Chains A and B, each alone.
Chain A
Amino acid sequence: MSVSEKIVADFVANGIEFVTTVPCKQLGGVIDAVEKEPSIYHIPSNKEDEGMGLCAGAFMGGKRPAIIMQNTAIGVTVNTLVTLTQFYRMPLPMLISYRGELKEPVACQVEMAVHTKALLNQLNIPTYHFHKLGDEEELDAILKYTFMCNKPVAILTDATFWGGY
């Protein structure tokens, strides 16, 4: 089983049935695995705040959601995270590609990377960082934690974890 397939298997084992995605090269394998998983409704969104709205609705309708996006999305979604997900106390696992870290070829990505953890910290969002292969072993516990505490939780996955570009 590939890492991408294992991540999606953890989603399924934790009852996640509604996943929205905004495209990312690094998370392409996970997005493909989500699309192939018959127990998950995969709904691509055009912008991450829209995706968080969809996830909020799905949760209230009785389905556990998740969002897959790049760290640039943290810059886009601060208002939604604060006034929707956190204010109404809703769970949201956020699987995030941590662009702009070691092995990054595109300088502009670094500009958002340097703010990513600071913003998540400022928003009091529990944050986990997958840096080495094997770190994904914690995903099952992170998902259980997310749905236990009804909070958005960030899982940053960097280029070293994914084996470079």
Chain B
Amino acid sequence: MIRSEIIRDIAPILRDQLVVCNIGLPSQELHMIDDQASNFYMLGTMGLSSSIGLGVALAQDKTVISIDGDGSVLTNFGTLPTIANNVADNFILLIIDNGSYGSTGDQPTYAGGKTSLAAVAKACGCETVVECQAEETGAVLKAAIESQKMTVIVSKCESGNIKVPVITKDPVVIRDRFMTEIARRNG
């Protein structure tokens, strides 16, 4: 399975949650597969999906899922200790780990080499860390939502991309409808 297949697989689970989606192809894929007001698409700023998601989770009560990539987590490694030490039980970090920088041409990441992101997350103090295979992602994600415990999921999948259109929505529109949806769901 490649990342876009995981996103297609978990889209029915995601639509009931608040989602912060990583820059580049992951956001473009989610936008094409199942655009929702509850999705915040990152159009830039590599690395900050987990930080933005944690901020949303700490500010309100509904479950927030940050979809991140192995390359993006490597870019913002400082996020893992911050997550571990600021427990938000409504926060799930889903790292889709395909061992490559997918949006830039599948150059290999160190997570595809010797570095285990699950082991790093645990070493940083994250208490619930689940590494799974791509096919198991939906079941693991569902269990994490139901557990109401802050969870880091590392989903190991194959590298590869599909053709997707870029997102042309105005960023302020994306942000405004996300905020309106958050307020509505917390209403």
Let me know if A90 and B175 touch, CB within 8 A. Answer: yes
Chain A, Cβ-Cβ closest to B183: A62
Given contacts A45-B78, A50-B78, contact A84 B45 (CB under 8 A): yes
Q: Footprint of B on A, CB under 8 Å?
A: 18, 41, 43-47, 49-63, 65, 79-80, 82-84, 87-90
Let me know if B55 and A61 touch, CB within 8 A. Answer: yes
Does B130 reach chain A (CB closer than 8 Å)?
Answer: no
Given contacts A79-B44, A83-B45, contact A57 B174 (CB under 8 A): no
Does B125 reach chain A (CB closer than 8 Å)?
Answer: no
Let me know if B82 and A54 touch, CB within 8 A. Answer: yes
Does B57 reach chain A (CB closer than 8 Å)?
Answer: yes
Q: How far is the CA of A56 from the CA of B49 in the complex (A)?
A: 10
Chain B, Cβ-Cβ closest to A43: B86
Q: How far is the CA of A45 from the CA of B183 in the complex (A)?
A: 26
Beyond the given pairs A49-B48, A50-B48, A58-B56, 15 more chain A to chain B contacts, judged by CB atoms under 8 angstroms and listed by A's residue number, are A41-B58, A45-B78, A49-B47, A50-B76, A53-B52, A57-B59, A58-B59, A59-B55, A60-B59, A61-B60, A62-B59, A62-B179, A80-B45, A80-B48, A84-B48
Let me know if A57 and B54 touch, CB within 8 A. Answer: yes
Given contacts A45-B78, A58-B59, contact A89 B48 (CB under 8 A): no
Q: Which residues of B contact A88 (CB under 8 A)?
A: 171-172, 174-175
Q: How far is the CA of A54 from the CA of B183 in the complex (A)?
A: 18
Let me know if A50 and B51 touch, CB within 8 A. Answer: yes
Let me know if B45 and A57 touch, CB within 8 A. Answer: no
Interface residues on B, range: 20 to 34
Given contacts A46-B81, A79-B44, A87-B43, contact A57 B175 (CB under 8 A): no
Q: Interface SS of chain B: helix, strand, loop or mixed? A: helix
The CB with the most chain B CB atoms within 10 A, among A41, A50, A52, A83, is that of A50
Q: Which residues of A contact B48 (CB under 8 A)?
A: 49-50, 52-53, 56, 80, 84
Let me know if B47 and A57 touch, CB within 8 A. Answer: no
Given contacts A50-B48, A62-B182, A83-B43, contact A57 B56 (CB under 8 A): yes
Q: Footprint of A on B, CB under 8 Å?
A: 20, 40, 42-45, 47-48, 50-60, 76, 78-79, 81-82, 86, 171-172, 174-175, 178-179, 182-183, 186
Let me know if B58 and A43 touch, CB within 8 A. Answer: yes
Let me know if B78 and A62 touch, CB within 8 A. Answer: no
B150 CB to nearest A CB, Å: 14
Q: Which residues of B contact A54 (CB under 8 A)?
A: 51-52, 54-55, 58, 82
The CB with the most chain B CB atoms within 10 A, among A53, A55, A89, is that of A53
Give 28 CB contacts A-B under 8 Å: A18-B58, A18-B59, A46-B82, A50-B48, A50-B51, A50-B76, A50-B78, A50-B79, A50-B82, A53-B47, A54-B58, A57-B55, A57-B59, A60-B52, A60-B59, A60-B179, A61-B55, A61-B56, A62-B179, A62-B183, A62-B186, A65-B55, A83-B45, A84-B42, A84-B52, A88-B175, A89-B175, A90-B175
Chain B, Cβ-Cβ closest to A41: B58
Let me know if A62 and B52 touch, CB within 8 A. Answer: no
